[in-house]
Amino acid sequence: MSKIKQIFMKQTDLFSVLIVLFWLKTYFAYLLEFDLGVTGWLQHLILLINPLGLGIILFSVALFSKNKKRRIGLLMGILLAATLLLYSNILYYREFTDFLTMNILVGSNNVSGALIASTLAMMRPWDLLYWIDVLVFAAVIYKVKKGQPALRNRLDISRKAVGTLVLGIIMLVGNLLLAEVSRPQLLTRTFDRNYIVKYMGINFFTGYDVYQTAKNSHIKASADESHLEEIVSYAKVNRAEPDPQYFGMAEDRNVIVIAMESIQQFLIDYELEDENGETHEVMPFVNSLFNSEESFSFSNFYHQTGQGKSSDAEILTETSLYGLPQGSAFQTLGSSNTFHATPGILKSKADYTSAAFHGNVGSFWNRSDTYRQFGYDYFFDAEYYDLSGDRSLEYGLKDKLFFRDSVEYLEQLPQPFYTKFLTVTHHFPYPLDDQNAGFPIAQTEDSTVNDFFATANYADEAIEEFFTYLKKTGLYENSIFVMYGDHYGISNMRNPHVAPLIGEDPEEWGEFQNAEMQQVPFILHIPGMDEGQVFDMPSGQIDVLPTLLHLLGIETDDYLFMGQDLLSPGHDSSVPLRNGRVITTDYTFINDRIYDNQTGEELSEQFSEEERLELIGERDQARMELNHSDRLMSMDLLRFYQPESLTQLEPLEYTYSNQMEVLQNHPGIQTSVIEKNRGESTLHLYETDAPEIREKIDYIYRPNRGLMERIQD
């Protein structure tokens, strides 16, 4: 004990021991408690060092105290606070597979109450390891002599304190640089809290979250109802009246949305030539839907996402608003903003049940929190799927397994329902393991481009298997299908490698061609309809929601949508992209340059000054849509906009943690597929060639458990 006491009397040794112990237990928690998806030596190195930089900075604050007793007290206080933060996140993660945020701690009594109520159940025997350093130091401090005098050499102490602080700053900056190498734009594209913790640590994430929360609160605090006036006027003028022949065409049908990860328009009807000169249709099933007489399809449809990527696509298609100019609206605003989104609207207007399905963790793009604000009744994320072994890739459960395994939840949903399925296998860098290989790869110098077509074909097969199942259960005929590509898959940097594959000259590839590559498929498939056609007018994801609502027979007069009904004769074919580029029927505007849509030729110098200014005015008019949307989002102005018809739109109050119990108590459960099938599962009707399913499995429904029980033959 005397030697330990001597360490406490010696400033340098005490500080070093505290840092080392805190570093070790934090790293231990990373490995044991959190599923951070660490791969490769660089990510493992970053995970190892990320507790040190900010940890040294925090603990160095105590070194500036001139009184030894106060200094030791400060060190212990910092250690206690940091340990409490770490352990609170451990407990929360065990229950919700997510990290604590300010919005959860301050703004949600439901979540905090659930955390407190289940603390004992979440504790584990080894949890003492997270507190043992605090207990030991507390015991030793108790033995330290009281009334330690002030330090005599204040200059020496100041130098050590400053030196330690500088060391911490250097390590933190180094950590940031390594994180930028492994994950570019980490802090501007904060699409998953897991990523910030993995690269920068728990303490950094908490500080960053506090900063973002404070910034958003300041912006929102400055807003009032007066900021809505111009936007309300714009929305009313911008609205396009529905076409009577289409309004209500899909009334009372189930809605099944499939967000097709990274699927671009050039894949539609595309045939890839292999090394032997034989051609292979990449997406034959999606092609059949796109060209069907039962579909409204759009060949000149653009994604309008920014840094929020897939989550921006969800904002666009389900709220008819844009994502933010920087970062992800889901991540930055999704936990607290007011949204008039498809799930809430359909529940309010037509008593729809809603559910989202995603084979990745709920924290990815902050979906768990944002879906509550959208009004989703259920969200089945990675917790509800088996992702073990070879069943998943980097971004989650493989698509064929994802659709199949979703059936045990889909068949229990009361009808009519609104469902969304987020595919992930066709995601950069487009890996596909050997057991799923077979489709030819492209023959270019870029391996990413080469693999792109094989994973697109895999996604197409997965969707076809899902449709086959839906037809067998009778769900197909009573549904409308909304299918869209969420964003580009091939980046501008790689587009020249694609050029020869689509009949273009890479030497003549430029910004106009890059803009065209932002086209993605959009299909509204309505079984039984025979009026389908392919529309070629410019359109975008912002238009999806008003189009869908009108097909379902729901008026949109009271909503502040930036988009318009694509089937309306009054639709304005001006499409602003998130980066400010604008596409119209005749022209593409890229910065101050104007291109002819037919020839791709730049026309800027061919117009008179008067003509050019008129066209630029049209471009700026289209961009106003972005400005109005940004103000609505950043100021959370929809909280001030509650017409009488919208008063029932409220965020969901529970956290998707006991969904099967809630689902079994749903008042409309008798309308579900499984109840109509007398309590027997329909999963045996699902046929897949997924090689990961190696044995035959029967499924028996247990109503008293609210779960599917797997019985192996």
Which token pair is 210?
A: 């506090």
Question: How many beta carbons lie within 10 A of that of residue 70, not counting itself?
Answer: 13
Nearest to 602 by CA among 531, 515, 527: 515
What's the burial of 426, exposed, middle or buried (CB within 10 Å: 0-12/13-18/19+)? Answer: buried
Q: Mean pLDDT throughout 381-388?
A: 93
Q: Which residues of the chain does CATH 3.40.720.10 include?
A: 249-571
Distance CA 616, CA 593 (A): 9
Q: Which of 90-94, 191-195, 456-460 has the lowest mean pLDDT?
A: 191-195
Higher pLDDT, 193 or 461: 461
Which token pair is 707?
A: 């779960």
**Tens digit of pLDDT for each residue in 467-506?**
999 999 999 999 999 999 999 999 888 899 999 999 999 9
Q: What is the pLDDT of residue 222?
A: 84
H or E element: which one contains 54? helix 40-60
Q: How confident is the model at residue 75 (pLDDT cuts 50, 70, 90)?
A: confident
Give, in order, the Cα–Cα distances in Å from 487 to each of 360, 478, 541. Answer: 18, 29, 10
pLDDT at 701 over 80: no
Distance CA 484, CA 297 (A): 10
Q: What is the pLDDT of residue 114?
A: 36
| 194 within 8 A of 363, measured Cβ to Cβ | yes
DSSP characters over 374-407: HT-SEEE-GGGS---GGGEETTEE-HHHHHHHHH
Q: How confident is the model at residue 154 (pLDDT cuts 50, 70, 90)?
A: very low
What's the burial of 306, exposed, middle or buried (CB within 10 Å: 0-12/13-18/19+)? Answer: buried
Q: Provide CB contacts within 8 A for 16, sequence distance 6+.
A: none
**Tens digit of pLDDT for each residue in 386-427?**
999 999 988 899 999 999 999 999 999 999 999 999 999 999
Is residue 280 part of an annotated ligand binding site? no
Which token pair is 710?
A: 């797997």
Q: What is the pLDDT of residue 95?
A: 60
Which token pair is 339?
A: 């949204």
Q: For 541-610, where are the E strands, in sequence order? A: 575-576, 582-583, 587-590, 593-596
Which token pair is 541?
A: 């994801």
Q: How confident is the model at residue 286 (pLDDT cuts 50, 70, 90)?
A: very high
Residue count (the chain): 713
Q: What is the pLDDT of residue 229?
A: 93
Q: Look-up: residue for tokens 């989550």?
A: 311
What stretches of 552-634 show up as alpha helix (H) in DSSP?
Answer: 609-634
Q: Return phi, psi of residue 145, to 5°.
A: -60, 140
Q: Mean pLDDT throughout 622-649?
A: 89
Q: Which CATH number fits domain 249-571: 3.40.50.12780, 1.20.58.220, 3.40.720.10, 3.40.718.10?
A: 3.40.720.10
160-169, 400-409, 438-447, 661-670 — most confident range: 400-409
Q: Which of 193-197, 204-208, 362-366 has the lowest mean pLDDT?
A: 193-197
pLDDT at 147 over 80: no
pLDDT at 601 over 60: yes
Is residue 601 part of an annotated ligand binding site? no
Q: How confident is the model at residue 224 (pLDDT cuts 50, 70, 90)?
A: confident
Distance CA 240, CA 549 (A): 13
Q: Is 310 a catalytic residue?
A: yes
Q: Which of 267-276, 565-574, 589-598 has the lowest mean pLDDT?
A: 589-598
pLDDT at 92 over 80: no
Q: Look-up: residue for tokens 């930055």?
A: 332
| 515 within 8 A of 295, measured Cβ to Cβ | no
Q: How confident is the model at residue 322 (pLDDT cuts 50, 70, 90)?
A: very high
**Tens digit of pLDDT for each residue in 197-221?**
889 998 898 888 888 778 777 777 8
Q: How confident is the model at residue 1 (pLDDT cuts 50, 70, 90)?
A: very low
pLDDT at 126 over 50: yes
Q: Mean pLDDT throughout 358-365?
A: 89
Which token pair is 402?
A: 């994802």
Q: What is the 3-state secondary structure (H, E, C) of 1-24?
A: CHHHHHHHHCHHHHHHHHHHHHHH
Q: Provide CB contacts within 8 A for 341, sequence distance 6+.
A: 318, 319, 373, 374, 375
Q: If you average pLDDT over every residue of the chain, what do you get?
A: 86
The overall pTM is greater than 0.85: no
Is residue 487 part of an annotated ligand binding site? yes
| 550 within 8 A of 565, measured Cβ to Cβ | yes
Higher pLDDT, 1 or 525: 525
| 51 within 8 A of 200, measured Cβ to Cβ | no
Nearest to 62 by CA among 132, 24, 25, 8: 8
Q: What is the pLDDT of residue 589?
A: 94
DSSP characters over 425-481: SS-TT----GGG--SPPP-SS-HHHHHHHHHHHHHHHHHHHHHHHHHHHTTGGGEEE
Complete edge-to-edge strand list for the sheet that includes strand 479-485: 378-380, 353-358, 417-422, 254-260, 479-485, 522-525, 295-298, 533-535
Give, in order, the Cα–Cα distances in Å from 595 to each of 237, 515, 539, 586, 665. Answer: 28, 11, 18, 9, 58
**Rg (the chain; Cα; Å):** 28
Distance CA 616, CA 136 (A): 70
Nearest to 116 by CA among 107, 127, 105: 105
Q: What is the pLDDT of residue 713?
A: 33
pLDDT at 285 over 80: yes
Tell me, what amino acid is at 711?
I
Nearest-5° Cα angle at 643, 638 to 645: 115
Rama region for 67: left / alpha / beta (φ>0; ψ in -120 to 50; rest)? beta
Q: For 274-317, where are the E strands, in sequence order? A: 279-281, 295-298, 301-302
Q: Look-up: residue for tokens 């659709």?
A: 403
Q: How confident is the model at residue 179 (pLDDT cuts 50, 70, 90)?
A: confident
Distance CA 312, CA 310 (A): 5
Is residue 486 part of an annotated ligand binding site? yes
pLDDT at 189 over 90: no
Strands 593-596 and 279-281: unpaired
Give, in order, the Cα–Cα distances in Å from 664 to each of 407, 412, 613, 669. Answer: 16, 8, 61, 7
pLDDT at 711 over 80: no
Strands 392-393 and 378-380: unpaired
Q: What is the pLDDT of residue 113?
A: 36
pLDDT at 327 over 50: yes
Task: Exactly one of 262, 295, 310, 573 is catalytic; name it.
Answer: 310
